[in-house]
């Protein structure tokens, strides 16, 4: 049963990411993205844990919809160069919406 949940979570992630990177997502896709992304975030937490919610997962589940609603696409906001920094910038607030019951990790000093 857990395998099906993982499969559902990744399939939904792929569907939502396709909307995010689409040149011109439909108005229907943009309109439903907020609820779909929030539901996906909760599904993610059910597969892993609230402590595994990175800043990217939090932004995807809770904020990307704002950019889609206002700008209709987020391509121009890509931040690919900072991709590897997510483990260093994992804020306790990332878990607050998707997994409020998760214990917030203490910030670790950078070793770089």
Tens of pLDDT, residue by residue over 11-64, are 999 999 999 888 888 999 999 999 999 999 999 999 888 788 888 899 999 999
Q: Give me the number of domains the chain comprises.
A: 1
Q: Which two tokens stand for residue 55?
A: 């800043």
How far apart are the C-alpha atoms of 67 and 22, rounded to whole Å?
13
pLDDT at 11: 95
Give which of 78, 73, 102 is closest to 90, Cα–Cα. Answer: 102
pLDDT at 96: 57
d(Cα 63, Cα 60) in Å, to the nearest integer? 6
Helix (H, G, I), strand (E, B) or coil at 78: coil
Residues 6+ apart with CB under 8 A from 3: none
* pLDDT tops 70 at residue 100: no
* Domain of 21, in residue numbers: 2-98
Domain contains 110: no
More confident position, 109 or 65:
65
pLDDT for residue 48: 86
Q: How many residues does the structure list for the chain?
A: 112
pTM: 0.66
Is 106 inside a domain boundary?
A: no
């Amino acid at each position: 049963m857990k395998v099906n949940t993982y499969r559902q979570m990744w399939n939904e992630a792929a569907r939502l990411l396709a909307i995010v990177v689409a040149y011109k997502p439909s108005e229907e896709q943009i309109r439903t993205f907020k609820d779909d992304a929030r539901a996906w975030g909760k599904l993610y937490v059910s597969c892993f844990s609230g402590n595994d919610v990175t800043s990217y997962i939090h932004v995807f589940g809770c904020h990307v919809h704002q950019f889609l609603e206002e700008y209709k696409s987020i391509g121009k906001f890509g931040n690919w160069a900072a991709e590897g920094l997510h483990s260093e910038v994992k804020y306790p607030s990332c878990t607050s919406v998707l997994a409020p019951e998760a214990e917030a990790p203490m910030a670790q000093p950078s070793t770089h």
